Amino acid sequence: MPELVEQMYCSQQIVIPPKFPYILKRYCKAAIKTQPYDLLRWSFEYFKALAQRRPPPVKLRLEYPVFSTEGGLTRGCLKVLANQLAGMAEIPLPVLKQAWEGFCLDPQELRRILCLCEVYLRKDTVPFLHFLAVAGGLLTKCLTHTMILLCESLTKEPDGGSAAIPVSEFLVMYKFIAKMDAAKDVRYFNGFREGEAPDPESVPEEEEIQEQEELHGDRKLREISATLMSSTEAVPKQGMVAGRQMSTTSGEFIVQHIEKEIMAYIDEQIAILPDPDLKKKKAKPEEVEMIKQMLETFLDENMDIIVPEVEEVEEEEQPIPEITIVYAVPGIGPPVDLDIISEFQDYALDVCKVQADLFMPRNIRHFLCPPLEKYDEHKYELTPPHTPKKEQKVPTGGTITD
C-alpha cells in the first residue's frame, strides 16, 4: 500500500475553490425562488444543467401565493420552460420530458398535454407553440385569459412592460386551441381520442407488404383447392375407404387419381394405333408396378409443391390499449365558431400594422377588440311586480330603511 504523501492535521490544509461560495450562494437563491417539490431531484437537474451549459430550472422570482395545477405546473414554471425550449420549432419528446422533470412536475400531466396536442404515441416531436398553448390553458379559467398569459410567457420584454409578441405566433396558438374541444372529460386510447380511428397512412410499409404477400399466398391456395375440387367431381364413389371419406388433399387419393388418368391415357393411345394386332397388347404386371413406383417416388418428392401445407397461424392477442383520461380544461373550453376566429384575426392583423407586427395584451383589453370566444349570458330571475316587498330579494348588501 503506497504511503500517503501528505497527512491532514488541521482544517487549514483543506483547499476550498475560490468560486465555491459563489456557486453555493446562487444555488441557495435558486432553491428559495423555485421552491421545488423534490429538492434532491431538482438539485440534480440544476447542477446537470449548469454542467451542460444550458438554462437551469429556476424561477425568476418567488411565487406567492402559488397557483398551480394538480401536476405542479405554475406560471413561473411555464415561463422558464418557454425560455429553455425557445428556438426549437419542433421539440423532441425526450428533451421536453427532461425539461419537465427538471421542475419535478407530474409526468401524467405532461401525457395529458401531449394527448391534447395529438402527438402522444404518434410522433416523436411536438410543436413548441402548440405545447405552450395547451400548457397555458391549464392555468387559466377562460380562453381570453389564456392568450394573455401566453403573451406574458413568450415576451422578451421585462416584467411590467407591454408583453408584446409576434402576431404570427399569437395567431398560431389562438387558432390551435380555439378549434380544440376541451370542455369535457375525454378518454384517449393509445393517443387517439375516443371515437377516432387511426389514419390508414400510419400503417408501416413493412406491414402492408406482409399483408400483400399473405393475400397472394391465400389466392394461390384457393386456385389449387379449386383445381382439386374440380378434379374430384369426376371421380366415382370408389374413392371411399372403409368407414371414412378420403380428404381431397391426401397423398393416397392424388396417387390413385393420377394413376387412373395415366392408365386411361395409355389405353386411348393404344386404341388409336393403326395396327389391329397391337390393340390386343396389354401392359405386363411388372410394367404397371414399375409405373406405380415411379409415380409414388415422384409424388413423395414433390408433394410440397403439388399440395403446399397450410400452417395454422394462431391469432395474436391484441395488446391492452393505454388509456389516458384528459379532464376538462376551462382555459381552452369548447371549440370557437369560425366567424369569431375570422373576425378576431382580421382585427389582430389590422392592429399590428402600426405596432411593428407585434400583438400585446392591451390590444385584447381594448374596447374595439372583438371577443375571442363565445360567452354564455347568465339568465337572471326577475321578481314579478306584484310580489310583496317583504318577499322581494335585495340584490345588494346593506339594510333597508324607511
DSSP label at residue 166 = E
Q: Please say whether the beta carbons of 363 and 353 come within 8 A.
A: no
Q: Please say whether the beta carbons of 93 and 124 come within 8 A.
A: yes
Q: Crossing angle, helix 167-178 and helix 143-154, to 10 degrees? A: 150
Q: Is 297 helix (H, G, I), strand (E, B) or coil?
A: helix
What's the sign of the alpha-carbon dihedral 381, 386, 388, 394?
positive
Q: Is 151 exposed, middle or buried (0-12, 13-18, 19+ CB in 10 A)?
A: buried
- Stretch 92-111: mean pLDDT, rounded? 93
One domain, residues 107 and 178: yes
Percent of the chain beyond pLDDT 90?
A: 46
Structure confidence at residue 235 (pLDDT)? 42
Q: How confident is the model at residue 210 (pLDDT cuts 50, 70, 90)?
A: low
- Stretch 295-314: mean pLDDT, rounded? 66
One domain, residues 60 and 172: yes
d(CA 382, CA 400): 19
One domain, residues 150 and 267: no
Structure confidence at residue 207 (pLDDT)? 54
**The 192-193 sheet, strands edge to edge:** 192-193, 186-189, 323-326
Residue 39 lies in a domain: yes
Residue 397 lies in a domain: no
Percent of the chain beyond pLDDT 70?
A: 67
DSSP label at residue 201 = G
Q: Is 302 exposed, middle or buried (0-12, 13-18, 19+ CB in 10 A)?
A: exposed
Q: How many domains, the chain?
A: 2
pLDDT per residue over 139-155, tens digit each?
A: 999 999 999 999 999 99
Residue 217 lies in a domain: no
Residue 376 lies in a domain: no
Q: Please say whether the beta carbons of 325 and 133 come within 8 A.
A: no
The label of the residue with cell 504523501 reads: 5
One domain, residues 38 and 171: yes
One domain, residues 143 and 262: no
Q: Is the pLDDT of residue 156 over 70?
A: yes
Q: How confident is the model at residue 230 (pLDDT cuts 50, 70, 90)?
A: low
216: its cell numbers? 397472394
d(CA 16, CA 23): 12
pLDDT per residue over 253-284, tens digit each?
A: 666 677 677 777 767 766 665 655 555 556 66
One domain, residues 163 and 294: no
Strand blocks (E) in 72-173: 90-92, 125-127, 165-166
pLDDT per residue over 308-329, tens digit each?
A: 566 666 677 778 888 899 999 9
d(CA 49, CA 52): 5
One domain, residues 187 and 54: yes
User: Bridge-partner residues for 323, per DSSP?
Assistant: 189
94: its cell numbers? 425526450
Highest mean pLDDT among 173-182, 248-257, 378-387: 173-182
Residue 51 lies in a domain: yes
Q: How confident is the model at residue 354 (pLDDT cuts 50, 70, 90)?
A: very high
Which domain range does residue 278 map to? 250-306
For 237-261, the DSSP string reads GGG-BTTBPPPTT-HHHHHHHHHHH
Residue 366 lies in a domain: no
In the chain, the amino acid numbered 207 is: E
One domain, residues 192 and 255: no
Residue 54 lies in a domain: yes
In terms of pLDDT, which residue wins out, 330 or 247? 330
Residue 267 lies in a domain: yes
Q: Is the pLDDT of residue 243 over 50?
A: no
d(CA 158, CA 113): 28
Structure confidence at residue 291 (pLDDT)? 73
One domain, residues 29 and 157: yes
54: its cell numbers? 444550458
Residues 6+ apart with CB under 8 A from 153: 75, 78, 79, 82, 132, 136
